[in-house]
Amino acid sequence: MDYQLQNYKTMASNLTKKFLKEQRENREKQLEFFSMEARYQKNLERVVRNLRAEKRVSEQLKKRLDDANKLIKSLSEQKCLTGMMVNVKQEIPEPMEQEQDTPRILKEVKEEMEEQQAQDSELEKLTFPIKKTPETVEIHWLKEENKRLTQELTLQKSRSKAEPRKKMVEIEQKKLRLKKKQSMKWRDWELDLLAATDFTGDN
């Protein structure tokens, strides 16, 4: 009788130990599952944030590309209009009596160009973005090219009113060509500087 009682006690003790061990293992597995679930949730939130950020960047780049395409289209139209003005100027003879008004017209044109350039300079300070990127630099210099073409168009309009002196016209054209070369040089320099900065930042 005592032997059976001792045997039952031993079996009960073993079962209790086994139950407690399984309960501890289940609790550890449950904690591990909760930890995995928390990590999964954090990873999921990070992926969602990255996707939203990429979407915003994509929308901004698309908007900049659309703006650049509009500027390119505007510049193309300006060039076509300039070519048409040159052809019309060559086909229509100038009245001789208007030659005496040439200095006054050139002076007015020069004043208009200087005033427009001053206004564009002030507007540029307000509109050019603080953070420069290859896209914004390209747009900036497209605007500069548009400004230069506008000045050429204004000069062509002045020539349609009266035939200016050849030497004065050549001087104005040389100034515009020099300004174009300088703008291209500064644009290339800024793009190279941005590329070098991005390369250094990646390292």
Give the count of beta carbons closer than 10 Å to the beta carbon of residue 136.
Answer: 18
Tokens for 69, please give them.
């395409």
pLDDT at position 135 is 65
pLDDT of residue 199: 46
b/e per residue, 167-185, with b = 16+ CB within 10 A?
Answer: eebeebeeeeeeeeeebee
Question: What is the pTM (predicted TM-score) of this model?
Answer: 0.30
Give the CA count within 13 Å in the CB-facing half-sphere of 103. 1
Residue that has been written with the tokens 């004043």 in this structure: 111
Instruction: Give me the residues of the chain with pLDDT under 70, please.
Output: 1, 3, 79-110, 112-113, 116-137, 156-174, 195-203
Which two three-digit tokens encode residue 136?
Answer: 């914004």
Q: What is the pLDDT of residues 103-154, one digit of tens each?
A: 666 666 667 667 766 666 655 555 544 456 666 667 777 777 777 777 777 7
Here the tokens at position 90 are: 């060559």
Q: Is 144 helix (H, G, I), strand (E, B) or coil?
A: helix
Give the Cα separation of 162 and 182 in Å (integer): 30
